[in-house]
Each structure stands twice: as C-alpha cells, then as structure tokens.
C-alpha cells in the first residue's frame, strides 16, 4: 500500500493553506493493491468509472457512484464534493481528481485522493455503504490556543452539533455550525459523510474521526480529520460557505499534515 510516493506509517510535512476559492493541489492520496497498468480491460474500466463520476457528480449535486466491468476487472467508484461548495468549484475539483488519481496511483486496484473541496476513489471491491476509517489524511494547525481545556470544551460542543446535523436523516450527510468562544474569537466546524452511508453508519464514522481529536488536535487552532467515508474539521476562521462577512479568509499559518494508513 502507498500514500503518494511514500511507504511509511506516518508522514509529517509542512504546508500552507491557500485562500478559499483558489485552486489547490490534493491534500493526500492513498494507493494500495496491484497495478492494473498492464491490463487494458481494467484500465478502460477505471477510466470509464472516473469519467462517469465527473459527469454525474458535476451535474447531480456533487455526488455519484459508478461501476464498470465484471469479474476480476470490475471497478467501483465514488466521488463527492464538500457539500457547501459551488457547482463550478465542485466540477473543477472533480475533474482534477479524475486526472490525477490514475497517474498518482499508477492504476492501483485501490486508489483514493482527497482535496479540500472534493474526494474521489475507486476499488475493485464493493465498498458502497461501508464506513471506511482505515486510511486518512489529518491536517493540524501547529499553533495552539491559550486555555486549552476551555478551548477543547468549546470545540467538543461545536463538533457535537455539526456531527449530529451530518448524521441526521435528510441532511445529505452535511453538518456545519459556529461556536462563539470569546467575544472576539469564533470557532467554525464542519462534518460530512459520503452519501452512500446510512445515518447510523455515518454517525459511527464521524464518532471514529472525533475520537482521534485527542490524539492529534488537542487545543490547536485548527484541525481536520479526513477519512474515505467522512471528514470532520474546525478552524478559528470562516472556511465553509456561505462565508461569514461574504469574503474568503486567507490563512497562511503553517500546518502539519499527518498521513495514516492501516
């Protein structure tokens, strides 16, 4: 198995957040299993699934699943945009994901790629409806807040509301909320599940993500845990749409990226 080009259990690097609304590179990828690069049928099926995901998700509310092939060459795929982004930003992100995924993973039998605005994956096994928290990408702001216990309590309250929204029936798997921490500091939170998950399965996925906050997030000013089936994020600046004040916020604070796999 492989994350990007690294073979390790954890990778720490520095990166900077781009202004909202700007195109961005992927925040992480996961590649596992044998390569199908030498199989014309499998490559054709992968390309067919990716093309269908882009077309269907771009015009179908930012979510799609697709299958192609049969037997050993069958491919299952899923694509989903963050539920608050515009249709044009969604389509742009999906197009880039479909372009980068085969080359990044060399047509591996299990390939996944995360962006800020979207997520895409394909596999030769049926994963639909299953909560997958084995592999993920975690971004942590290296700057910590004062009064860590009070801040962690406020984050817990905020994320509890966002995850409850996301796992509620009829929510399309998306939850967003805001918590006033001090008169001058607000915390913004977002939770999302892929739309193939039932509400209970979504809640279980999000609970697993939140359970890792103690390991990685602490009282840091921002943190996001991105799994293949769900994601949870908080920041002390507006990052989801519609933006507070109607303007994108640029945050060039250094973050740590942690890539984890089974």
**Segments forming the whole domain that contains residue 142:** 136-261
Among residues 69, 101, 123, which one ends one of the domains?
123
Question: Order of strands across the sheet with 63-68?
Answer: 28-35, 108-114, 118-123, 75-81, 63-68
Please report, in tens digits, the pLDDT of each residue of the chain (262 residues total): 544 332 222 333 333 333 333 346 899 999 999 999 989 999 999 999 999 999 999 998 999 999 999 998 999 999 999 999 999 999 999 999 999 999 999 999 999 999 999 999 999 999 999 999 999 999 999 999 999 999 999 999 999 999 999 999 999 999 999 999 999 999 999 999 999 999 999 999 999 999 999 999 999 999 999 999 999 999 999 999 998 655 444 343 457 877 776 6
Pair 90, 153 in one domain: no
Among residues 70, 94, 123, which one ends one of the domains?
123
- Confirm whether 97 is domain-assigned: yes
159 within 8 A of 189, measured Cβ to Cβ:
yes
Determine if the peptide bond prior to 254 is cis (ω within 30°).
no
Print burial letters for 44-62: b (CB count within 10 Å at least 16), e (below 16): ebbebbbebbbbbbbeeeb
Pair 41, 148 in one domain: no
CATH of the domain at 37: 3.30.430.20
Determine if the peptide bond prior to 3 is cis (ω within 30°).
no
Phi, psi of 214 (to 5 degrees): -65, -30
pTM > 0.85:
yes
Task: Give the dihedral sign, CA 36/116/157/201.
Answer: negative
């Amino acid at each position: 198995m492989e994350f990007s080009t690294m073979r390790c259990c954890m990778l720490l690097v520095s990166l900077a957040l781009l202004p909202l609304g700007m195109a961005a590179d992927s925040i992480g990828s996961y590649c596992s299993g044998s390569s199908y690069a030498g199989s014309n049928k499998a490559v054709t099926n992968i390309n067919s699934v990716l093309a269908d995901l882009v077309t269907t998700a771009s015009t179908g509310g930012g979510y799609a699943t697709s299958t192609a092939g049969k037997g050993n060459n069958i491919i299952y795929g899923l694509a989903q945009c963050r539920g608050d982004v515009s249709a044009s930003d969604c389509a742009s992100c999906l197009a880039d994901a479909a372009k980068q995924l085969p080359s990044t993973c060399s047509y591996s039998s299990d390939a996944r790629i995360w962006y800020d605005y979207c997520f895409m994956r394909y596999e030769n096994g049926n994963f639909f409806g299953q909560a997958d928290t084995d592999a993920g990408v975690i971004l942590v702001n290296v700057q910590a807040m004062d009064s860590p216990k009070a801040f962690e309590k406020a984050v817990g309250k905020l994320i509890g509301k966002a995850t409850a929204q996301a796992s509620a029936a009829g929510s399309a798997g998306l939850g967003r909320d805001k918590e006033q921490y001090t008169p001058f500091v607000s915390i913004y939170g977002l939770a999302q599940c892929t739309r193939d998950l039932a509400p209970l399965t979504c809640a279980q996925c999000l609970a697993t993500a939140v359970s890792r906050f103690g390991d990685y997030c602490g009282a840091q000013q921002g943190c996001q845990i991105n799994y293949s089936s769900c994601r949870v994020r908080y920041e002390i600046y507006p990052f989801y749409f519609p933006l507070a004040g109607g303007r994108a916020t640029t945050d060039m604070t250094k973050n740590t990226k942690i890539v984890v796999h089974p």
